[in-house]
Amino acid sequence: MKIICVTGACGVGKSTMRDFVGERLDEKLFACIDTDECGINWHDYANTDHPEGYANAYLAEAVRRAAGRTLVLFGCTNPMDYITKNTIPDEVEATYFVTLVADDEVIRERLLARPAERGFNEVNIPPHIEYNRWFRRNRGKFPLQLDTGKLSPEETADRIAEFAKHL
């Protein structure tokens, strides 16, 4: 099976894209899954001696749910950690990263607009903006990068779906 990781910093639109892309792909061939849907709690792994266990757990669960279909996985999958720290299930034959980015101010506005219980404020937003900048600086290392501040959700989803269909 193949995995297409749709990733990026918080606020670039990964979860928003899940439904838009899912509407454009045949569910018999593709499983569109957000890491938040996998039932794995990040807090169970944070500040432990095995924080990579979170990614390993949601990845294993998403692969199980995909049941052999191409998995389009939406979430904050860190490409560096995926390659160097994560355990990739045996069923996975190839992984492709689609990165979503946006301008700094777009990310700031989106994160500040989230409900207060999500915990975003001016103090903790800068690391997310810096992570977004890392994706921008490394755009040539990924087969597809899309700016969700410049493209509509429909245009972004169309491009992701077309990429998936041609793998």
pTM value is: 0.94
pLDDT at 50: 82
As a whole-number percent, the residues of the chain with pLDDT over 70 amount to 100
pLDDT at 46: 81
Q: Does residue 135 carry a pLDDT above 90?
A: yes
* Domains along the sequence of the chain with CATH: 2-165 (3.40.50.300)
Q: Does residue 7 carry a pLDDT above 90?
A: yes
pLDDT in tens, 18-69: 999 999 999 999 999 999 999 998 878 888 888 788 999 999 999 999 999 9
| Token output for 78 | 């860190």
- In this structure, are residues 104 and 129 in contact, taking their beta carbons and an 8 Å threshold? yes
pLDDT at 28: 98
As a whole-number percent, the residues of the chain with pLDDT over 90 amount to 89
- The overall average pLDDT reported for the chain is 95
**Alpha carbon distances (Å) from 157 to 20, 29, 141, 151:** 6, 17, 21, 9
| Phi, psi at 4, each rounded to 5° | -110, 110
- In this structure, are residues 9 and 75 in contact, taking their beta carbons and an 8 Å threshold? no
Chain mean position to CA 27: 19
141 — pLDDT class (breaks 50, 70, 90):
very high
- In this structure, are residues 1 and 63 in contact, taking their beta carbons and an 8 Å threshold? yes
Q: How far apart are CA 51 and CA 33, in angstroms?
A: 21
pLDDT in tens, 87-105: 999 999 999 999 999 999 9
